A = this chain, B = another copy of it.
Amino acid sequence: MDNKTTNKDEAKGSETLNHELMIKHVIALFRDTMPFNQLLGLEFVTEGEGLDTQISLHLDWQPALTGNPMQKILHGGVTATMLDTIGGLVSIVETIKQTAREHLADLQVRLPTMGTVDMRVDYLRPGRGERFVATAMIIRKGSKLVVCRMELHNEKGDHIAFGTGTYMLG
């Protein structure tokens, strides 16, 4: 991000803040500035633009991500990380979508304190596969609290894990 932005630019930016820009900004934040997401090699894949944006999280199998190297099984912590990450990101993006444009600046101020309150992971079968995809959908949307259900599949469509997460926004 360009940190040389002048106050004038910031004011202008704030005037022109819209859903599409803010969604792109949040995805870039998760993708480009969170070291642990990069260490794992998480890929943030989007479909559609602006209010139609749908996001999923992809990950190629790597030896370093396994718990059991003989059986090539994904470590349960990688599964938990993917579910928590996609749940948090979708919670923010869906909240942006449902926020009136004039309140987007307020929301942006609250984002840095966004966090996971609690999460349940159900490990359905061993994490075998070449490529994993995590998705999330909102099941409860309040002004400050969002509850998400998350899923992890492999490239064959095998259902590896389910997640349920409660997230607080600001």
Contact = CB atoms under 8 A, between A and B. Distances in A.
Interface of A: 33-37, 39-40, 63-69, 71, 75-78, 80-82, 84-85, 88, 112, 115-126, 139-140, 142, 144-145, 147, 149, 159, 162, 164, 166, 168
Copies in the complex: 4
Nearest to A113: B126
Nearest to A36: B75
Contacts of A118: 118, 120-123, 147, 164, 166
Q: When A and B form their complex, which 4 residue pairs have the shortest distance between CB atoms, in order from nearest? A: A77-B81, A36-B75, A80-B80, A124-B140
A168 to B, nearest CB: 6
Given A65-B35, A66-B36, A139 B159 contact: yes
